[in-house]
Structure 1
């Protein structure tokens, strides 16, 4: 297939681009190159004959029309989004503009292209979203998000993603656009932009800085290794049922405190301090507003229908992630000067 991947220079998008090329697909990487994008993420495929890059903003309809006309993709994988909850608290307008209006413009460009091409049955518009649209779960481990969970977003970020999900479903029901949707749990792994919890902990530890944990560290997340997620997304775009949504989870629930303690233990082995443990740097800080207590996904549908399930445990994935950051200091050093990196965000509320 020829895939148009939006946000392909970001964390998850670049994993999709690299894996798609490795599987023999052609990829057109469309990215606006905002603060969290990095073309080094796709350096390994930049010279591949099946790869092309287009710098464009999903809010620019004319640019989108030009890209569709020039490349004639078989499918769209829409990952471009503002995605950091803390930043959405400080500046919600950008999230509404990019995630809602940008998705609207991309849907309209895709619909015009699809209609002009004679509405080919094989065309797909794959919208990649988050489990955060479902709100917060109780502590009971028997409760998990499924594709039928009611939406209950609680941050500007999750509300903007919920809005984009609804737009995609409406374009399918109203116009017949052949769509598939996915909602994933928290991703981690190589090339993770250094403002999210895991890279913050790794890089702060290496610098001897405090390791900040919001509240008491009891918030639970379901951790999904990014390469597993990329494989799931490619399974959905190639084999998923039109109009269907798929919840993609790592089946790796951990509290934030447990996660940070695991990272400290790994670093103690791989880059030991002269004295003490990295865990001595753990610092509890004021919680962010509206912090959801627990996320967890039941991935039964994608497992039963497409045969996908996560292959990497959180312990194995964290080992790989720490190894990657230790071996790629030039990559993360170059990003540390970008706006907001290393600062506490999301406190204006």
Structure 2
């Protein structure tokens, strides 16, 4: 799969580019030779949960100086998004901006719903009004499903739901995404050349995540400070995957849609059918043996960075799903996408990033860039997104 030929010289707009996943995506796109335009809230620790320490990955990479444009705007501001799209005419949009935390959703439900639903609507409306060829990958979450605590994995056709404000807001955003494709983009694909798909990801981990209320940054923050690691919900299982797995899925999906749009606009009926297949939700998760409990994850982290654990379970704490697994059959069969790093390597690479950061890279943008780029290059060296040969996920 040649991502470089797809993205080199193209303009890519990334919302939420200052966040954990956004900063990794920007760095990868820069390596591919893209012109990257970022739209995000200002870096304010009272607004953005990724700024709970002075080590935000975006700042450590010095990305504000390296992008084509760094725009400070709220995705709830439709006029600001319209202006960004009008000025830069992106070929691709990756919509990552969100209020991404379950527990914060309980504390600030209105802000969560407005950001995640109205923000998504504003992005799609800005692209629609621009009326220029564009691929939009709108990022939601594995938590969009009506969670039954099943042992089997959730498929893209399973009912959406969400018993907490964050999950419900992301499920609502998916309805907005589907309606824009069906109402505006699909009927006029030959004239507009716009494709949109939703990407549902599992719990990503990786270097540079400093957000509160996330198990990996909380664990590594405590280990770096020599304190016991608190475990709030050790029995909860999650589909842990490295951030690069998920971003590789986003990029591959965007490339596949772009190629299908070209074919459909040229009158290729097979390309049109392929585009219909691609402009739909996709799960991106690890193989099933990477669905591990929070307790197992922390124990694996401590194989590489020894420390102590303390029980921090709290009666009456806000509810989080106990079991959550994703089926990745559709990504495997339709895209040829598959996980590259298994659970142990995912944890090893994550801990290695943080240890190198604390040891020598902290406060040195060139060192953080080198550390981040080395992991991207190591990951891409093993990427094999070809025709699938077997099913790796499912229930």
TM-score, normalised with respect to structure 2: 0.74
Counterparts of 1:57 and 1:39, CA distance in 2: 20
SS of the residue 2:312 aligns to:
strand
* Partner of residue 312 from structure 2, selected from 267, 276, 284: 284
Listed one character per residue, the Cα deviations across residues 4-29 of structure 1 (whole Å, up to 9, x for unaligned) are: 11011111111111112222322111
Distance of aligned partners of 1:47 and 1:9 in 2 relative to their CA distance in 1, 3 Å threshold: same
User: 28-37 or 146-155, which moves further after superposition?
Assistant: 28-37
Deviation at 1:46, TM superposition (A): 5.2
How do residues 1-349 of structure 1 correspond to structure 2 at under 5 angstroms?
Answer: 1-33=10-42, 34-35=47-48, 36=50, 38=56, 40=58, 43=61, 48=66, 51-114=68-131, 117=132, 120=133, 123-138=134-149, 140=151, 143-176=152-185, 178-195=195-212, 196-215=214-233, 217-240=234-257, 241=275, 242-251=278-287, 252-268=290-306, 278-279=307-308, 281-286=309-314, 288-329=317-358
Change (3 A) 1:313 1:51: farther
Supply the distance in 2 between the matched residues of 1:108 and 1:135 (Cα, whole angstroms): 27
SS across alignment from 1:209 = coil
Task: Give 1:208 shift.
Answer: 3.1
* Cα-Cα RMSD: 2.3
Extract unaligned runs of 5+ from structure 2: 1-9, 186-193, 258-274, 364-395
Partner in structure 2 of residue 340 of structure 1: none
Q: Separation in 1 of the partners of 2:68 and 2:100? A: 25
CA–CA distance in 2 between the matches of 1:145 and 1:81? Answer: 22
Aligned-residue offset at 1:136: 2.8
TM-aligned CA deviation for residue 222 of structure 1: 0.4
Q: Deviations over 1:259-284 (max 9, x none)?
A: 1111122212xxxxxxxxx23x3323
Report deviation, 1:210: 3.3
The DSSP-based 3-state class of the residue aligned with 1:259 is helix
Query: 1-side partners of 2:227 and 2:147: how far apart?
Result: 31
Query: 1:344 maps to what in 2?
Result: none
Structure with bigger helix share is: 2
Structure 1: runs of 5 or more not aligned: 269-277, 334-349
TM-superposed CA distance for 1:189, in Å, is 0.1
Give the distance between the partners of 2:127 and 2:150, measured in 1 at CA: 41
Q: Is the 8 A contact 1:21 1:45 kept in 2?
A: no
1:51-102 residue CA offsets vs partner (Å, 9 max, x unmatched): 3221111111221121112111112110000011111111111101111111
The separation in 2 between residues aligned to 1:131 and 1:41, in whole angstroms, is 28
Distance verdict in 2 for CA 1:331–1:60, change over 3 Å:
farther
Indicate how the Cα distance of structure 1 residues 39 and 64 shifts in structure 2: closer, same or farther if over 3 A, else same. Answer: farther
State the SS of the aligned residue for 1:145: coil
1:331–1:100: structure 2 CA closer, same or farther, 3 Å change rule? farther
C-alpha spacing 1:151/1:45, structure 2 compared with 1 (3 Å): same
Distance 1:52 1:159, change over 3 A: same
Give how far 1:235 is off.
0.4
Larger deviation, residues 242-251 vs 150-159: 242-251
How many residues of Structure 1 are paired with residues of Structure 2 in the alignment? 314
* Structure 1 residues 30 and 15: CA distance shift in structure 2, 3 A: same
Deviation at residue 246 of structure 1 after TM alignment: 1.0
* Runs of 4+, deviation exceeding 3 Å: 37-42, 44-48, 329-333
* Deviation digits for residues 166-197 of structure 1 (CA, Å, limit 9, x no counterpart): 11111111222631111010000011124111
User: Quick check: 170-179 or 3-12, which moved more?
Assistant: 170-179
Give the secondary structure class of the aligned counterpart of 2:74: coil
